[in-house]
Structure 1
Amino acid sequence: MGGSSSRNRSAPVREHRGIYRRYSRNGSSKWQATFDDKDGKAICPSLMELCTYKICQQVHQYDTFSMLPGDISQLIFDESVYSRRLTWNNLEAFRGCVLHDIDLGEYPGVDDSWMEAIFSHGSTLLSADLSGSNVTDCGLVHIKKCVNVEALNLNFCDQISDVGLDHIKGLLNLTTLSLKRNKNITAEGMSALSGLVNLLNLDLERCTSIYGGLVHLRCLSKLQALNLNCCNCITDADMEPLSELTNLKELQLSSTKVTDHGVVFLKGLHKLALLNMELCCVTAACLDSLSAIEGLLHLNLSRCNMTGDGCNKFSRLKGLKSLNLGFNDISDDVLVHLKGLINLESLNLDSCIIRDNGLVHLAGLHRLKCLELSDTLVGSNGLRHLSGLVNLESLNLSFTAITDGGLKHLCGLSTLKSLNLDVRQITDTGLEALTSLTGLTHLDLFCAHITEAGTIHLRNFKNLQSLEICGGGLTDAGVANIKDLRSLMLLNLSQNYCLTDASLELIAGLTQLVSLNLSDSRVTSAGLQHLKPLKKLKSLSLESTEVTANDIKSLQENDLPNLVTFRPE
């Protein structure tokens, strides 16, 4: 059934979240003998899948799996975790197995009592995810024998302190280390990281007590990605040690206290491709330093102190592919300095003071794929400047002043896949103007006034995967025009009070649905029977209806095993 398992240490670490998700999530003994593929056709599981699932059903009866080939025992372990059948008692059955990856992230009950068995795999273990567990410094002592581990995830393990970091300092093969949201790690404890010379990825997000500790990262010359988001203790002084990390490609500094003075230390990081400084107290003055970073491709300056002053320096960032200037006090005058950034593929101007005339400066950005204009002062006249952006795939016009008449300027954007029209002025007429955009996969008409008459135009959008029409006068007859959109995965029809159980019956044929919202409607518990064919449904919201939590739980247990979240709950 399998041979001995081996894995090249240089290969990327797999992220296990369960191998056989087609089976029950809740450990039910009722096994679906077949499942639907992407075309909705029933196919049988393989012999390997069948054997693995059957073993996991009775995993508590086995004393050991150590005689099995490593790849088989790994599959049994993964499925036991996913089906929530792994316990502290039956964990012993995997002692002596060749397990490369142990993914127990957010798994209930994991604490120090599990650690000796988990780390007993010693040199064969290559990755371990213990995020969200109750492991402490005492439990982490057992990891010392796992000398070949490459990836270690200790996110949200808030009982680990500097003492625990000392236990991992000998793991010289470690390439990925994640320590998100740990307030107990201090600058002194970070000295344990200085010897991890092969580290490529380090995540310290929300570690709020590490001020002064970045000095211990100087020797990590191979480091490529560093996440310091929401470390509000980090200041300009902490940037100086980072100037020596010349292989750094990604740096996350969102919500830190770094200012223009600290950015100066980054200008020698010529390989830096991504820099996130959202919510930092930087101004356009930092652009002098940023323009010296030759490899910079992605820059986030959202919610900073950007104004028109000094923004002419944006024209120096010729290589940028994505730029986020959302929620800054910038106006049309700034956009003139962006027109030379011809490599831009993504531009975010959310909530900026942008008007119709400013959009003329974007007309030459022919490589743009994503444009965010939400909550700006853009109106229908401005949309004519976007008609030449022939590569545009995503456009957000929510909370703008556009009307039905302006949408005609979008008709030539044949590559458009995602369109957000959360605008009260859009009606059935506007929707009719968009019928040439047959490639749309995501359409948001959240606040638009779409009626039964308008929904007939939705029949043109055969590729739609996501559709939101909320807060309008939609009726069951309108839903009848949606029932043939077989590619839909997300459907939000909330706040349409006239919808009844008849709509549920119409939706029953949309077997690709993963998320469904019919809150604030007139559907009842009797109508839930129509949802039984939606085997892929993971999220169901029926708040402010006559449906109760027990009704949905019954539907989940008997017919929709993949349903993870539902409301009411």
Structure 2
Amino acid sequence: MGGACSRKRNVLDEDDLRRSGRFSKTGSSKWLLFSLPRCSTDVTVRRQGKCPSLMELCVAKIREDIKKYSSFSMLPRDISQQIFNELVESHGLTDVSLAAFQDCALQDIHLGEYPGVKDSWLSTVSSQGQSLLSLDISCSDVTDSGLSLLKNCHNVQCLKCNYCDQISDYGLSHISGLSNLTSLSLKKSNAITAEGMRVFTNLINLVNLDLEKCLKIHGGLKYLKDLKKLESLNIRYCNCITDEDMEPLSGLSNLKELQMSCCKVTDAGIAHLKGLYKIAHLNLEGCPVTAACLDIISGFGSLIFLNLSRCGISDDGSESFSGLQKLKVLNLGFNNISDACLVHLKDLINLESLNLDSCKIGDEGMLNLKGLLRLKCLELSDTEVGSNGLSHLSGLCNLESINLSFTSVTDGGLRKLSGLTSIKSLNLDARQITDAGLTAITSLTGLTHLDLFGARITDLGTNCFRYFKNLQSLEVCGGSITDAGVKNIKDLKSLTLLNLSQNCNLTDKTLELISGLTALASLNVSNSRITNAGLQHLKPLKNLRSLTLESCKVTATEIKKLQLAALPNLISVRPE
């Protein structure tokens, strides 16, 4: 790798000094000051409430007067880089202002999802030459022609071209000489085919490769077989990938992460991977594999993450789970497994997260989880687990998140959770949960997320909310709460999400009561008696980004007026 590629970032080298001429680091700062008024009171600085640094003042002023500058090439790279980043973040970069960064030796150009990026912009990008180390042009209109301009940027290490519909095999051919690439991302590049992947044979330093949703790459993975440094490969949602494509991966001995959700790989394909001993992260969600593949997977001694959700896993063959001793995360959701499978999980003492969503497990199976003392997250939604099963979980003192939605757990069962004071997230979507159930969990004072969708909560039950002062997310939908109950919510100052939909007796008074919850980013009060007149109470909620008031007596016109007049961050509105 070249010297420019291996140097530390943001350190000036001789090239910088030559390019800067007589302007040293100190000199360039003085140059910036000449453009500033002696006392600038109209410069907006991001760090509100703190004294801005000299550099922040300079960059803010340049952003404000960007039309006055035709070139920043005389500045040291660290300063021009900061100005560029500021323009991108503030959406102040245009065709004209971009030209001022010609030959600035920028190292990082991150334009992912930035509007208006096209081939002509790549001319300025390519002018950074061997200084360029990282480029993101995701979701742009760049074509094969634009990509050809990068051929002289030999030191690029990271390139992201996600969702670039106009880049094809021909465009890929232009990056075949970028042998210093360590990370390449081409998500949903539907014009790329197996033949175009031939260029990967030259990218021998690749460590991370992302081909998610590339639907025409069947047969192309053979060009990866010599990429011995590859550690991460993402081919999620590539439904063209079959067992045949797995064989070339067998020699990638450094592979640590393999994402294959919704591919057509079966147990036979997994057999090709048996030599990948360093695999730590394996995602097979939605693949047509069965428990038979566990014979191979159990040999991955470094495996800590395994996702087998929506596969064909059953109790038959599940005894091989017991060999995955280092596993920390296991997702078995939406499989045909029962309590008999859980017997083989009881020795996985390193498990921190277990997902059993929609599996046929019940109270008896919970007995096998009582020894998993490191468990932090447990997903039991839509299972046959009831109140009796929760008694087996009472010793899981590290449990932080548990989902009991659509189970048969009752108010009485919740008392068995009262000692698990580490719980931060609790989902209780169930009609059988009432005010009494809330009273049973008031000891869980560390709760940050509470979901009571469909629970029969009344104003009396809301008195319990005063115990949950750390709540950031609260959903109490379909209950019997009135404005009187909302009085017990108005002091939860940490709330960023509040969903009170389908409490049909709520009125404009509710909006007045919650007007002090200034941290709110998402608010849903649908199917209530709120009117246009009540919208004025939302004006203090400057952080609000999502507002849902469907089936209320409000109009889209009045909501739009509120958005324009007082809620600048509001981007999602219902009704529109």
Q: TM-score of the superposition, structure 2-length normalised?
A: 0.90
Give, in whole Å, the separation in 2 of the partners of 1:328 and 1:439.
32
Using a 3 Å threshold, how does the CA distance of structure 1 residues 478 and 8 change in structure 2: closer, same or farther?
A: farther
- Counterpart for residue 87 of structure 2: 80
Which string of whole-angstrom CA distances, capped at 9 and with x for unpartnered residues, describes residues 139-159 of structure 1?
110011111111111111111
Alpha-carbon contact 1:35-1:44 (below 8 Å) kept? no
Q: Does 1:403 align with 2:407?
A: no
Q: 1:36 to 1:534 in 2, by over 3 A?
A: farther
**What code does the residue aligned with 2:168 have?**
S
Q: Report which stretch shifted further, 341-350 or 309-318.
A: 309-318
Asked which structure has the greater CA Rg, the reply is: 2
Residues 94-131 of structure 1, C-alpha deviations (whole Å, 9 max, x = no match): 21223222121122222222221222211121111111
Indicate the residue corresponding to 2:219 in structure 1: 212
Q: Secondary structure at the match of 1:535?
A: coil
Cα deviation, residue 9, structure 1: 5.4
Q: Match of 1:287?
A: 294
Q: Which moved more, 1:193-202 or 1:91-100?
A: 91-100
1:255-278 Cα deviation digits (max 9, x unpaired): 111111111121211111000001
Q: Which residue of 1 aligns with 2:503?
A: 496
Q: Is the 8 A contact 1:298 1:323 kept in 2?
A: yes
Tell me: CA distance 1:486–1:179, structure 2 relative to 1, closer, same or farther (3 Å): same
Work out whether 1:448 is the aligned partner of 2:458. Answer: no
Match of 1:136 in 2: 143
- The corresponding residue for 1:367 is 374
Q: Distance in 2 between the 1:517 and 1:33 partners?
A: 33
- Who is 1:23 aligned against? none
Aligned to 1:317: 324
Check the 8 A contact 2:130/2:153 in 1, yes or no.
yes
Task: Describe the SS at the equivalent of 2:498.
Answer: strand
- Aligned match for 2:337, one of 301, 326, 330: 330
Pairing 1:565–2:565 present: no
Q: Say whether residues 1:391 and 2:398 are aligned partners.
A: yes
Q: CA 1:359/1:103 → structure 2, altered by over 3 Å: closer, same or farther?
A: same
Q: 2:544 aligns with which of 521, 526, 537?
A: 537
Tell me what 1:266 maps to. 273
Match among 128, 141, 159 for residue 121 of structure 1 = 128
1:18 aligned residue: none
Shift of 1:532: 2.8
Instruction: State the one-letter code of the partner of 2:429.
Output: D
Give me the identity figure in percent.
64
RMSD: 2.1
Provide the C-alpha distance between the structure 1 equivalents of 2:5 and 2:539, rounded to a whole number of angstroms. Answer: 42
Q: Which residue of 1 aligns with 2:477?
A: 470
Amino acid at match of 2:447: L
Listed as ranges, the gaps of 5+ residues in structure 1 are: 1-5, 13-30
For residues 442-500 of structure 1, the C-alpha deviation after alignment (integer angstroms, 9 at most, x for no partner) is 11111111111110100000111111111222111111101111111211112222222
- 2:198 aligned residue: 191
CA contact (8 A) 1:35 1:43 kept: no
Equivalent AA in structure 1 for residue 536 of structure 2: Q
Query: Number of matched residues?
Result: 543
Q: Secondary structure at the match of 1:177?
A: strand
Contact 2:335 2:358 in 1 (8 A): yes
Q: Name the residue aligned to 2:249.
A: 242
Query: Hey, what does 1:481 align to over in structure 2?
Result: 488
Select 1:255's aligned residue among 232, 256, 262: 262
Q: Quick one: structure 1 residues 396 and 449, their matched pair in 2 at CA, closer, same or farther if it must change by over 3 Å?
A: same
CA contact (8 A) 1:160 1:184 kept: yes
The answer for the alignment partner of 2:309 in structure 1 is 302
2: distance between equivalents of 1:454 and 1:402? Answer: 18
TM-score (norm 1): 0.91
Residue of structure 1 equivalent to 2:350: 343
The alignment partner of 1:180 has SS state of coil
Offset, 1:395: 0.2
* Residue 486 to residue 43, structure 1, CA distance change in 2 (3 Å): farther
SS at match of 2:128: helix
Q: Aligned-pair distance for 1:243?
A: 1.1
**Residue 8 of structure 1: how far off its partner (Å):** 6.3
For residues 501 and 8 of structure 1, what CA distance do their matches in structure 2 show? Answer: 61
Deviations 1:190-223 (A, max 9, x none): 1101111111110001111111111111111111
Task: Give the whole-Å Cα distance in 1 for the aligned partners of 2:140 and 2:7.
Answer: 26
C-alpha contact 2:421 2:446 (8 A) present in aligned 1: yes
Give the Cα separation in 2 of the matches to 1:35 and 1:172. 39
Higher relative contact order (CA 8 A, sep 6+): 1
| Contact 2:59/2:86 (8 A) holds in 1 | yes
- Consecutive unaligned residues of structure 2, counting only runs of 5 or more, are 11-41
- The question of whether the paired residues in 1 share the 8 Å contact of 2:43 and 2:57 is answered with no
Q: Distance in 2 between matches of 1:299 and 1:474?
A: 42
CA distance in 2, matches of 1:195, 1:463: 53
How many Å separate the matches in 2 of 1:500 and 1:490? Answer: 19
Q: AA paired with 1:314?
A: F
Residue 535 of structure 1: CA displacement?
2.7
Structure 2 residue identity aligned to 1:225: S
Answer whether contact 2:267 2:292 (CA < 8 A) is retained. yes
Q: Does 1:102 align with 2:103?
A: no
| Distance of aligned partners of 1:162 and 1:225 in 2 relative to their CA distance in 1, 3 Å threshold | same
Q: Which moved more, 1:92-101 or 1:391-400?
A: 92-101
8 Å contact 1:33–1:44 — kept in the other structure? no
Q: Distance in 2 between matches of 1:101 and 1:194?
A: 25
Counterpart contact for 1:376–1:400, Cα < 8 Å: yes
Q: 1:144·1:167 contact (CA, 8 Å) conserved in 2? A: yes
**Residues 45, 56 of structure 2: 8 Å contact kept:** no
Counterpart in the other structure of 2:22: none
Partner deviation per Cα, 1:371-430 (whole Å, 9 max, x = no partner): 000010111111111111111111000111111111000001011111101111111110
Q: Tell me the amino acid that sits aligned with residue 449 of structure 1.
A: R
- Match of 2:180, SS? coil
DSSP-derived class of the 1:452 partner: coil
Is the contact between residue 162 and residue 190 of structure 1 (CA under 8 Å) also seen in structure 2? yes
- Spell out, residue by residue over 1:317-375, the C-alpha distance to the aligned partner (whole angstroms, 9 max, x if none): 12211111100011111111111111111110000001111111111111111100001
> Is the 1:115–1:139 contact (alpha carbons within 8 Å) kept by the matching residues of 2?
yes
Mapped to 2, the partners of 1:83 and 1:36 lie a distance apart of 15
Kept in 1, the 8 Å contact 2:143–2:167? The answer is: yes
Which segment drifts farther, 267-276 or 517-526? Answer: 517-526
